[in-house]
Amino acid sequence: MELDFTPEQQQIKDAVRRFLSRECPPSLVRRMREERIALPRDIWRRMAELGWLGLPFDESYGGSGGDWVTLAALVEELGRACDPTPFADCVLTCGWLLQDLGSEAQKQRWLPPLIEGELMLSLASHEEQALRDAGEPPTTLRKGDGGLRLSGRKGFVENAADADFLLVSAVMDGTGEPCLVMVAPRAEGVELIALHSLAHPNLYEVGFRDVALAPDQLLARGPDLPARLTAALDRTAAFQSAAAAGGARRVLEMALDYAKERQQFGKPIGSFQAVQHLLANAWSEVETAWLAAYEAITHLEADLPGAADKVAVAKCASNETFVRTCFSAHQVFGGMGYMWETDLHLWTRKAKEIEMACGGIYPYRRRLAASL
């Protein structure tokens, strides 16, 4: 058993922290929200130059095939910095899916530019009855002259306007076979509708009206595809648990600093037992959330039995802890923390965004209810 990072892992973690505090300060996060924009690409390219986008990928595609704890350390730091990057969506989910499911030719073609920061991918797999009109069919592929045609609608696509391709889940007309295709958001027949979320600043609903696809835009098909998609989202959820723990720890530190500094009744508010208990509870939660995240990640990496349940525990524990820690920090900061120009609310929004990602909390609670 070893519950700490190796010196090399710690070194990378420190480097990521330094980079993010320089390149992705809260002022950038706030500006992205105010202007509803995606991360400036030059910052993303610099992250690529440092080799960070290649961590999950095989060396044959230009990646470094790193261990998962190193990758998790990076993701934890992203969460700490209130992650303005598309790392979770573009690298962890889409890039990894491409490596899992793509043909050799597709991987050779798309993974190197992704690792170099030149190719932006975004997942478009979210469909639910509440977002559809009555009687509207699910997203469907049809065989057309010389290729495939895509029609349907997806919700909650991050940075869709900024992406080079969307990975879109669909079913084959007639057979109902599940498929995954790559579609350029600027292709003819694709419509982007901005959604206004209190969390992600750059979110879209994407409509597909008889969009023509070349054969090599079909990434994967087959009855096991939904299960493989779920597994991929599980993996992202496990890493995002580290991000949640990192974000929660940062917010707790902000609250601790403020509790030592702010004086009321002639003493620091951190000397009041009510404030101490609030922060003591937050600390216990954050510590256990962090442990749950890394246990899930290492279990998943080693493919141990019960890993899926560990992921569910990590997802629920860490994501809910992140939200609750933000609430506790708001309580400590009082009026100051509720102002637009103070930073705390940026993390509060991020916390809810992470919670809703990868299907949200309830599917994971249900998984645990079924497996107890």
Partner 1 sequence: MDFCFSPEQEQFRQEIRQFLADNVTDALREEIAVSGHSPGPLGKAFLRLLGEKGWLGIGWPREYGGQGRSMIEQSIFYHELDLQDIHYGNLTITSLAMTLIKLASEAQKREYLPRILKGELEICLGYTEPGAGSDLASVATRAVKEGDGYVVTGQKVFTTGAHYASHIWLLARTDPTAPRHKGLSVFIFPLDTPGVTVRPIYTMEGIRTNEVFLDQVRIPASAMIGAPNTGFYTIAVALDFERVFIGKYTKIRRNFEALVRCCKEPGDDGRSLYDDPVVQDQLVRLHIDVERLRLLCTKTAWLIDQGKVPNAEASAQKVLASELEQRLADEGMRILGPRALLEYGSPHVPMQGYLAQSWLLAPMMKFGGGTNEIQRDIIAQRGLGLPRG
Ligand X SMILES: Cc1cc2nc3c(=O)[nH]c(=O)nc-3n(C[C@H](O)[C@H](O)[C@H](O)COP(=O)(O)OP(=O)(O)OC[C@H]3O[C@@H](n4cnc5c(N)ncnc54)[C@H](O)[C@@H]3O)c2cc1C
Binding interface with partner 1 (CB under 8 A): 126-131, 155-156, 193, 195-200, 205, 263-266, 269, 272-275, 278, 323, 327, 330-331, 334-335, 337-341, 344-345, 348, 352-353, 355-357, 359-362, 365-366, 369
Q: Which of 302, 306, 335, 372 binds ligand X (CB under 6 A)?
A: 335
Q: Which is nearer to ligand X, 272 or 327 (CB)?
A: 272
Torsion of CA 281, 287, 290, 291, to 10 degrees: -120
What is the token pair recorded at 336?
Answer: 């100051």
Please tell me whether residue 327 binds ligand X under the rule CB under 6 A. no
Q: Which is nearer to partner 1, 197 or 230 (CB)?
A: 197
Q: Which is nearer to ligand X, 233 or 269 (CB)?
A: 269
Please tell me whether residue 262 binds ligand X under the rule CB under 6 A. yes
Q: Which of 108, 264, 281, 371 binds ligand X (CB under 6 A)?
A: 264
Given a contact cutoff of 8 angstroms between Cβ atoms, the answer to whether 245 and 76 are in contact is: yes
In terms of C-beta density within 10 A (0-12 exposed, 13-18 middle, 19 or more buried), how is residue 59 classed? exposed
Q: How far apart are CA 366 and CA 101, in angstroms?
A: 27
Please tell me whether residue 329 binds ligand X under the rule CB under 6 A. no
Residues in the interface with ligand X (CB under 6 A) total: 12
Report CA 369 to chain centroid distance, whole Å.
Answer: 25
Q: Which residues contact 39 (CB under 8 A, 6 or more apart)?
A: 24, 32, 84, 85, 86, 159
* CA atoms within a 13 Å half-sphere pointing along the CA-CB vector of 141: 26
Please tell me whether residue 340 binds ligand X under the rule CB under 6 A. no
Stretch of 77-85, 193-201, 297-305, 329-337 contacting ligand X, by CB under 6 A: 329-337
Q: Position of tokens 């993996």?
A: 235
Angle 314-280-10 from CA coordinates, rounded to 5°: 55
Please tell me whether residue 272 binds ligand X under the rule CB under 6 A. yes
Q: Which is nearer to partner 1, 22 or 196 (CB)?
A: 196
Phi, psi at 130, each rounded to 5°? -65, -20
Distances (CA, A) of 310 to 7, 67, 125: 26, 19, 24
Q: Which is nearer to ligand X, 233 or 344 (CB)?
A: 344
Q: How far apart are CA 136 and CA 106, in angstroms?
A: 32
Q: Which is nearer to ligand X, 224 or 253 (CB)?
A: 253
As measured in angstroms, the least distance from the Cβ of 278 to ligand X is 7
CA nearest to 332, candidates 242, 271, 290: 271
Stretch of 31-39, 93-101, 138-146, 258-266 contacting ligand X, by CB under 6 A: 258-266
Q: How far apart are CA 322 and CA 199, in angstroms?
A: 14
Q: Which of 275, 293, 296, 308 binds ligand X (CB under 6 A)?
A: 275
Please tell me whether residue 334 binds ligand X under the rule CB under 6 A. yes
**Sign of the dihedral through C-alpha 165, 168, 172, 178:** positive
Q: Which is nearer to partner 1, 128 or 303 (CB)?
A: 128
Q: Which is nearer to ligand X, 220 or 275 (CB)?
A: 275
As measured in angstroms, the least distance from the Cβ of 11 to partner 1 is 36
Given a contact cutoff of 8 angstroms between Cβ atoms, the answer to whether 232 and 169 are in contact is: no
Please tell me whether residue 283 binds ligand X under the rule CB under 6 A. no
The residues that touch ligand X, with contacts defined as CB under 6 A, are 262, 264-265, 269, 272, 274-275, 331-332, 334-335, 338
